[in-house]
Structure 1
Amino acid sequence: MPETARPARLTLASMLIRRMSRTSTVLAAVFAFVLAGTLTGAATPSSSSPDGHPVARQLLFFNHAYGVFDRETADAIEHSGYLRDFANFQVRTTTGADGQVWTGRYLLGRQTYVELFGVGDLPGKDGELGSAGAAVSVERSGDLATVIDRLPELGITDPLLFQQTRDFGDGIPVPWFDGVFTTGEYDTFGTWGMEYRPEYFADPRGNTEPPAYPGDVGRERYLPDDYRDRLMRDVTEIRLAVTARDLGNTVPLLKAGGFTVKSFPGGAIALRGGTTLAFEVVPIGETGLRGIDMSLNRPVSHRHVERLGTSTLVVGPGSHAVWTFAAR
Structure 2
Amino acid sequence: MMMSRALPRRIVLLAAVLAVALAGTVVGAAGRAAAAAQHPWPGRQLLFFNHAYGVFDRVTADAIEHSDYLRGFANFQVRTTTGAGGETWTGRYLLGHQTYLELFGTGDVPGKDGELGAAGMGVSSEHAGDLATVTGRLPAEGVPDPVTFQQTRDFGDGVPVPWFDAVYTSEQYDTFGAWAMEYRPEYFADPRSGTEPARFPGDVGRDRYLSNDYRQHLMRDVSGIELAVTRRDLDSTLPLLRAGGFVVRADGTGAVALRGGTTIQFDAVPVAHVGLRRITMSLNHPTGRRDTETIGHSSLAVGPGPRAVWTFATN
Relative to the length of structure 1, the TM-score reads 0.87
Residue in structure 2 matched with residue 4 of structure 1 by the alignment:
4
Return the match for 2:77 from 90, 108, 111: 90
Residues 2, 222 of structure 1: 8 Å contact kept: no
Paired residue secondary structure (1:183) = coil
Q: Matched residues in 2 for 1:273 and 1:298: separation?
A: 20
Return the match for 1:120 from 92, 97, 107: 107
1:295 paired to 2:286: no
CA shift for structure 1 position 54 = 5.0
Residues 67, 130 of structure 1: 8 Å contact kept: yes
CA shift for structure 1 position 287 = 0.7
Counterpart code for 2:122:
A
Residues 296, 319 of structure 1: 8 Å contact kept: yes
Structure 1: unaligned runs, 5 residues or longer: 14-47
Counterpart code for 2:42:
V
CA shift for structure 1 position 274 = 2.1
Residue in structure 2 matched with residue 192 of structure 1 by the alignment:
179
Residue in structure 2 matched with residue 139 of structure 1 by the alignment:
126
Q: Matched residues in 2 for 1:202 and 1:167: separation?
A: 14
CA shift for structure 1 position 4 = 3.3
Q: Matched residues in 1 for 2:312 and 2:192: separation?
A: 34
Q: Matched residues in 2 for 1:200 and 1:54: separation?
A: 30
Q: Matched residues in 1 for 2:215 and 2:38: separation?
A: 42
Residue in structure 2 matched with residue 255 of structure 1 by the alignment:
242
Number of residue pairs aligned between Structure 1 and Structure 2: 294
Residues 8, 98 of structure 1: 8 Å contact kept: no
Residues 223, 282 of structure 2: 8 Å contact kept: yes
* Within-5 A mapping of 1:40-119: 51-53=38-40, 55-119=42-106
Structure 2: unaligned runs, 5 residues or longer: 15-34
Q: 1:49 to 1:209 in 2, by over 3 A?
A: farther
Residue in structure 2 matched with residue 201 of structure 1 by the alignment:
188
CA shift for structure 1 position 2 = 2.6
Residues 4, 83 of structure 2: 8 Å contact kept: no
CA shift for structure 1 position 11 = 2.3
Q: Matched residues in 2 for 1:152 and 1:79: separation?
A: 45
* Within-5 A mapping of 1:246-325: 246-325=233-312
CA shift for structure 1 position 50 = 6.2
Residues 86, 231 of structure 1: 8 Å contact kept: yes
Paired residue secondary structure (2:104) = strand
Paired residue secondary structure (2:176) = coil
Q: 1:243 to 1:177 in 2, by over 3 A?
A: same
Residues 240, 290 of structure 1: 8 Å contact kept: yes
Q: Matched residues in 2 for 1:243 and 1:63: separation?
A: 22
Return the match for 1:244 from 231, 234, 241: 231
CA shift for structure 1 position 188 = 1.2
Paired residue secondary structure (2:85) = helix
CA shift for structure 1 position 12 = 5.0
> Over residues 200-227 of structure 1, what are the superposed CA-to-partner deviations in whole Å (9 max), with x where a residue is unaligned?
0000111000001110000011000000
CA shift for structure 1 position 53 = 4.7
Residues 222, 279 of structure 2: 8 Å contact kept: yes
Residues 67, 289 of structure 1: 8 Å contact kept: yes
CA shift for structure 1 position 102 = 0.3
Residues 9, 97 of structure 1: 8 Å contact kept: no
CA shift for structure 1 position 56 = 1.2
CA shift for structure 1 position 265 = 2.6
Q: Matched residues in 2 for 1:53 and 1:246: separation?
A: 22
Q: 1:125 to 1:286 in 2, by over 3 A?
A: same
Residues 107, 113 of structure 1: 8 Å contact kept: yes
Residue in structure 1 matched with residue 146 of structure 2 by the alignment:
159
> Over residues 181-210 of structure 1, what are the superposed CA-to-partner deviations in whole Å (9 max), with x where a residue is unaligned?
000111111210000000000001110000
Paired residue secondary structure (1:117) = strand
CA shift for structure 1 position 235 = 0.1
Q: 1:54 to 1:172 in 2, by over 3 A?
A: closer
Percentage identity across aligned positions? 66
Q: Matched residues in 2 for 1:302 and 1:177: separation?
A: 41
The answer to which structure, 1 or 2, has the higher relative contact order (CA under 8 A, 6+ apart) is: 1
Q: Matched residues in 1 for 2:294 and 2:77: separation?
A: 19
CA shift for structure 1 position 8 = 6.0
Q: Matched residues in 2 for 1:12 and 1:235: separation?
A: 31
Q: Matched residues in 2 for 1:8 and 1:199: separation?
A: 22
Residue in structure 2 matched with residue 36 of structure 1 by the alignment:
none
Counterpart code for 2:275:
G
Relative to the length of structure 2, the TM-score reads 0.91
